[in-house]
Structure 1
């Protein structure tokens, strides 16, 4: 009987075959349906093969292929952790493929997208299955290059080429960091297999350096600050269903790499390593959501929001490291399960939101929310699905975002059990940062939905918008249903995730399915519990009663009148509340410090018919403080070194002689 890992590899091989088919038929009219239909079917098959492994949580299955390094081969392994991330990858791939069946018909350059889409899915699957350093890095690069090609699909559009360049540079930097990390793990003996690394002993200094390199390598791909600069450039540049895969799935593959090394291969953690992860995670969450609030581009807003959620996940993983280092197994399992739950939830609602943004883009041709408005009347189904995603990502009950973030805060409440005073003080501060990020996320998506879908149309394209195709709507509503089910039945999801925590930490959360009324009890009933189903019933009942009493006892007459204009009524749609004005109070509180925001008001004198203008100036502190100086230094050195190609023969020989003498001196001193 074929093993589970072999079945997954057959699915990967079929995806690669679909890539070849896409190259051969990319100019055909039916190529879109053929490629996306094939990737949909393959992703569903792969999902059905990995779910039993995740639920059973049994022994891992392994397979070695005679490719790769001659003395090593290519090792592949499927265990509970890999099965979970394969489920995330293939569920996201299936949703993106279904969406692509409709969205692909609007694609202006399908021959630039279709060959790389199945290759991208294959690369992500291979990264999760890889069980040696060489295979992992090779598949990681394959995944990066396939996604880069998709980012460059519309390379002629403004800023897309720059987005692809920045993404390629950051991806190469991340791969270099991963290469060094695996080099340290393999040691002098060159044990590149994960089994050898898992059995080896690592000194505290080695473990700290590996952690730092993994934060650089995996963190740059995931979008961890300050390595996140590529993400708000690349995600909007890619087609929307690819943006959903990059944001909702590829960033999770990067987190998989971090978890595989830090929780599995590196051995028992030190509590000081948790401090670094906690600080970076909480700072990333706050910076990401503040950046999202300042955005007017809908897809860039969603990309920055991904950074915020990545920060939440890393903060929860940092908590798991802190508890594990101190032998608090149940608390560690709680924090780790919360991170996994949020990984799954984010793949649901972020893919849904990118699909909604793609629907708006295909219907209006606009990503700037200031030119939209009133789409709830013209795209009611898209508006409803997008609203579900907004509520879910804002961590409001009864949807899934609340359930996973509630678990994160329950883990934070266990911090008094930690023996180190540094952690006792830091963890509540991290909790406050995450609470601030959650509140700002709610404000951000009130802005995103309100300015985009409510009010009146601000432009002719918004006025002429129409609903999108059935395949796109089906993909959005399927994810909306998953957001709802994971929110009202979180205990079932937690039980499915428990084998992963058991395999890596040796502990798991209590079984939730046996609790009455499908409640979840993270530690014990005396501390806390939550019931998503009862919350949903309560919300539904109270809302229905409110509607009934309003219609039964209030006036039956329908009264229509102009919206209140703060004393300055204007029938012009452009005079509506804008996204910039919506975030002005938040910008004045946080933007002055974080973004060096400045408001320049141009008020003409009386009698001057020029309009008054408000110009907001903001700066990106990470880019201007870190990347711009490095980029400037590289260009300066390149410009100086460029003069070497214009040297005479005599100067070339003198330079070679001087270099040779210098190297001989170094070798003499070294020996």
Structure 2
């Protein structure tokens, strides 16, 4: 047992995922099939967590599998980076498997879910443990294709089919770009194995080519602005458990791929200054754009999808800061930025997975994603409301939960960064910190809206009135990430110590000494005189202040005074008096109208009398500029060319004969040109052969070489 390493555990997790995929071959009953799939996925998750923790504690290893092609076997390896992302996969997959046992209870056709969900998990695990480009791309395609079938699980609706097509198109575009990056590294190393790529020297031009291809490829898969067009459509239409895994894990696999190629295979020594600037700009724009668009959504799952774009932007801000600092020989600060990005990676996995599971519970109970039809669900779904609130507080970066720690570390990286190579770079760092602060404030407003409109107030529809609480399986699946959000917020020192192997691997720097200066209670990223944070102390202070306020406002022996809410003089309140999703975000829509470019339609009906209003309807549509200005023109051009080609295909026989005749004429003309060129090349050689032989040395002008030999 002591000889079992992290790589063996990870391979065992892959085997259980394969067994789950094959379970429909031996199990027929839907109830048993669902239970077996969820059980095997839970075992896969537990093994992934065990492999991740083992790898982060130093149990690294690699092996070659007798699979793949005869001349191209699969190489797999676990180092600190792969171990971290294995831990991330297992941390969300385990609660998602438990959640799925209840969520899929009333799904009649389970076969596609049972086949493609384990394949999706297998693809993500395979990408993480790959040690050569062939294995990486093979599992990358397994992950992409399996997730396409999960997005289109409910394929009877046209919206789902359209979202799945766009997702598949963008996923394959991303795959081609990533393949191009590996092609550049293969040209430099002559091998598909990662170790050979690490050792191969790269010129600045080839390194830049590999960086750009990887950045755009993985950026497309991660949903980085402006490459995010597929994400707001795909995540809402997928089932709730799939949305949680796609947003919580799959987007992070793209972050893993970016770090693997840029930080590991290319290496920090080849970074150029503008690489970090590009990533920093992409992160800042994604954070702001994502949260601004999330604020305007009335579809709950679409709101969460745009919020994922914002959090990917926060991760990229940390990575961009780390790349800049590594380029200018600040390895300790670069390690801090890298750890901040990784900390936010696992944080987003947990609280976004919890949010999507909460949204799935709401949709499962009410039958709608429209927030305008919700309200008052806290009275009918108290457990769901409480767990959803934990996720809202976490994603809003409020202490003592985990979101605060990672964003605070990112701020410390930006604020404590020294002067860089130029004034522009020096200004870029605090600018990114300002964008992060603005995104954090807007995110808090966004999730005040999400929780308030969905769970507070009065029900706005019959669907909300008849909503019911979820079952124990779904509750248990949501409780686990909620507890982990609190745990990662209270024990950041221990978590950073666990992650310390990654900066040691990529930057040869350790943060353990600075972080452990004051023990587990105080987090000191650089030095206690500059910045420190203690989540337990903050939680204790909050409890004391909150308890004192409660006792002051509710003295013992005095009954709480209750009265009806003021309703502007009307005898009773109703649901039309409270904020809707659109009205809550109206001030932001006015402030950022240049970005939103809203289309508003106000229609007033006056039937009885011109001065008496019978009905008022108000519709607002907010534009995603990337979709309208980038994707839509490209799609229109492609459709236009397709229509032209279609008209060509519908011509009569005379047109096809004419095309054939013109083609023959073109080929004959081309052939004649080639023959003329060949004759011109051969003509000087013929002329030189007709000239008299040159006089040999030592002969008179009237003698030839033949005469001399005679």
Q: TM-score, normalised by structure 1?
A: 0.95
Match of 2:538 among 535, 545, 549: 535
Match of 1:632 among 591, 616, 636: 636
Secondary structure class of the residue paired with 1:67 = strand
Distance 2:456 2:177 in 1: 46
| Residue 596, structure 1, aligned to residue 600, structure 2 | no
Does the 8 Å CA contact 2:92/2:481 hold for their aligned counterparts?
Answer: no
Match of 1:650 among 642, 645, 657: 657
Please state how far the C-alpha of 1:597 moved relative to its aligned partner: 1.5
Q: Which residue of 1 aligns with 2:383?
A: 381
Secondary structure class of the residue paired with 2:329 = coil
Secondary structure class of the residue paired with 1:159 = helix
Alignment of 1:152-551 (within 5 A): 152-187=152-187, 190-267=190-267, 268=269, 269-511=271-513, 512-513=515-516, 515-516=518-519, 518-551=521-554
| TM-aligned CA distance change 1:547 to 1:638, over 3 Å | same
Please state how far the C-alpha of 1:602 moved relative to its aligned partner: 3.9
Does the 8 Å CA contact 2:76/2:132 hold for their aligned counterparts?
Answer: yes
Cα deviation 1:569-603 (Å, max 9, x = unaligned) = 7532133211111111111101x111212444445
Does the 8 Å CA contact 2:13/2:43 hold for their aligned counterparts?
Answer: no
| TM-aligned CA distance change 1:189 to 1:499, over 3 Å | closer
Cα deviation 1:230-272 (Å, max 9, x = unaligned) = 1111111111011000000000001000000010111221111
Secondary structure class of the residue paired with 1:171 = helix
Secondary structure class of the residue paired with 2:459 = coil
Please state how far the C-alpha of 1:642 moved relative to its aligned partner: 2.4
- Over aligned residue pairs, what C-alpha RMSD do you find? 2.2
Distance 2:332 2:619 in 1: 52
Distance 1:652 1:475 in 2: 64
Distance 2:210 2:354 in 1: 35
Cα deviation 1:58-112 (Å, max 9, x = unaligned) = 6x41111233344332111110000000110122111110110111103243222
Does the 8 Å CA contact 1:75/1:131 hold for their aligned counterparts?
Answer: yes
| TM-aligned CA distance change 1:547 to 1:111, over 3 Å | same
Alignment of 1:568-587 (within 5 A): 571-587=573-589
Please state how far the C-alpha of 1:607 moved relative to its aligned partner: 2.5
| TM-aligned CA distance change 1:301 to 1:108, over 3 Å | farther
Distance 1:122 1:516 in 2: 39
Structure 2: 5+ residue runs without aligned partners? 682-710
Structure 1: 5+ residue runs without aligned partners? none
| TM-aligned CA distance change 1:130 to 1:652, over 3 Å | farther
Please state how far the C-alpha of 1:618 moved relative to its aligned partner: 2.4
Please state how far the C-alpha of 1:566 moved relative to its aligned partner: 5.3
Q: Which residue of 2 aligns with 1:148?
A: 148
Question: Whose Rg is larger?
Answer: 2
Please state how far the C-alpha of 1:9 moved relative to its aligned partner: 1.6
Distance 2:642 2:108 in 1: 37
Does the 8 Å CA contact 1:596/1:619 hold for their aligned counterparts?
Answer: yes
Does the 8 Å CA contact 2:46/2:94 hold for their aligned counterparts?
Answer: yes
| TM-aligned CA distance change 1:499 to 1:163, over 3 Å | same
Please state how far the C-alpha of 1:666 moved relative to its aligned partner: 11
Distance 1:599 1:569 in 2: 32
| Residue 610, structure 1, aligned to residue 617, structure 2 | no
Cα deviation 1:339-365 (Å, max 9, x = unaligned) = 000001001100111111111111111
| TM-aligned CA distance change 1:311 to 1:562, over 3 Å | same
Please state how far the C-alpha of 1:557 moved relative to its aligned partner: 3.1
Does the 8 Å CA contact 2:300/2:359 hold for their aligned counterparts?
Answer: yes
| Residue 115, structure 1, aligned to residue 119, structure 2 | no
Alignment of 1:49-64 (within 5 A): 49-56=51-58, 60-64=60-64
Distance 1:625 1:477 in 2: 42
Q: Which moved more, 1:560-569 or 1:287-296?
A: 560-569
Please state how far the C-alpha of 1:513 moved relative to its aligned partner: 4.3
Distance 1:483 1:569 in 2: 44
Cα deviation 1:314-373 (Å, max 9, x = unaligned) = 111011100001110110000000000000100110011111111111111121111111
| TM-aligned CA distance change 1:315 to 1:49, over 3 Å | same
Cα deviation 1:110-157 (Å, max 9, x = unaligned) = 222121111111110000011111111111000000111101110112
Secondary structure class of the residue paired with 2:379 = helix
Q: How many residues were matched structurally?
A: 666
Q: TM-score, normalised by structure 2?
A: 0.90
Distance 2:674 2:319 in 1: 45
Q: Which residue of 2 aligns with 1:74?
A: 74
Secondary structure class of the residue paired with 1:105 = coil
Please state how far the C-alpha of 1:516 moved relative to its aligned partner: 4.0
Distance 1:177 1:23 in 2: 37
Distance 1:545 1:261 in 2: 53
Secondary structure class of the residue paired with 1:544 = helix
Alignment of 1:555-566 (within 5 A): 556-565=558-567
Cα deviation 1:602-629 (Å, max 9, x = unaligned) = 4567434432333323222111100011
Please state how far the C-alpha of 1:660 moved relative to its aligned partner: 5.5
Secondary structure class of the residue paired with 2:588 = helix
Does the 8 Å CA contact 2:235/2:246 hold for their aligned counterparts?
Answer: yes
| TM-aligned CA distance change 1:233 to 1:655, over 3 Å | farther
Please state how far the C-alpha of 1:658 moved relative to its aligned partner: 6.5
Does the 8 Å CA contact 1:46/1:90 hold for their aligned counterparts?
Answer: yes
Cα deviation 1:387-432 (Å, max 9, x = unaligned) = 0000000000110000000000000112333232221011111111
Q: Which residue of 2 aligns with 1:29?
A: 31
Q: Which residue of 1 aligns with 2:706?
A: none
| TM-aligned CA distance change 1:375 to 1:587, over 3 Å | same
Secondary structure class of the residue paired with 2:406 = helix
Distance 1:215 1:397 in 2: 33
Cα deviation 1:436-483 (Å, max 9, x = unaligned) = 100000000000000100111111121111111111111111111110
| TM-aligned CA distance change 1:283 to 1:23, over 3 Å | farther
Please state how far the C-alpha of 1:667 moved relative to its aligned partner: 13
Cα deviation 1:167-188 (Å, max 9, x = unaligned) = 0000010001011111011116
Please state how far the C-alpha of 1:646 moved relative to its aligned partner: 4.3
Does the 8 Å CA contact 2:291/2:310 hold for their aligned counterparts?
Answer: yes
